[in-house]
Amino acid sequence: MIKHPEQRIGVLVDVANMYHSSKNLFNKRVNFREILNTAVADRKLIRATAYVVRTETEEETPFFDALIQQGFEVKMKDLQIFAGGAKKADWDVGIAIDAIKLAEKLDVIILVSGDGDYQPVVSYLQNNKGCLVEILAFKKTCSSQLIDIADDFVDLGSNSKYLIKR
């Protein structure tokens, strides 16, 4: 795919998806600064949003502050804990809605997630909004259907610069 300097791009990062993938695959943390650099690729960054989950302890606050310093807008959601102990924090719908809302202002939407639940929104953005959609994710944990429909795919597992030792 041709990437040119005039393309207006938005980067939407499913932080929990990236965190768990890098932890499970490599026992390392994600280098979000490098991911943003790769995503931008000398194009016009209009918006970079990191979607995060806040726990009761708020021990993630320094991490959230680091994301902000790296140029991300951070959107937070509280972790839900259900009676019985199940925990849930899911940004899929929020990210999909933001992608659709931003599509009018962008040429390229970059989803940093391997979650196959994004397939319908990727198709919608391509077919109804005329946006190119790029996926940045770890290939080993990325939906193969998501890779297939993306206009471009970057395997974050192919280069150690996307990982930081724990």
Beta-bridge mates of residue 7: none
Domain-located, residue 53: yes
CA 135 to CA 120: how far, in whole Å?
14
Domain-located, residue 3: no
Domain-located, residue 136: yes
At 60 the pLDDT is: 85
At 118 the pLDDT is: 97
**Burial 101-132, CB ≥16 within 10 A → b, else e:** ebbeebbbbbbbbbbebbeebbebbbeebebb
Amino acid at 101: K
**Does residue 113 contact residue 14 with C-beta atoms inside 8 Å?**
yes
pLDDT in tens, 122-132: 999 999 999 99
Which range marks the domain in which residue 123 is found?
8-165
**Model confidence pTM above 0.85:** yes
CATH code (residue 139): 3.40.50.1010
Domain-located, residue 90: yes
Mean pLDDT of the chain: 93
- Looking at per-residue pLDDT, the higher value among 135 and 166 belongs to 135
Domain-located, residue 35: yes
Domain-located, residue 68: yes
Percent of the chain's residues with pLDDT above 70: 99
Domain-located, residue 2: no
Domain-located, residue 25: yes
CA 138 to CA 22: how far, in whole Å?
8
Sign of CA dihedral 18, 22, 28, 32: negative
Q: How many domains does the chain have?
A: 1
pLDDT at 21 over 80: yes
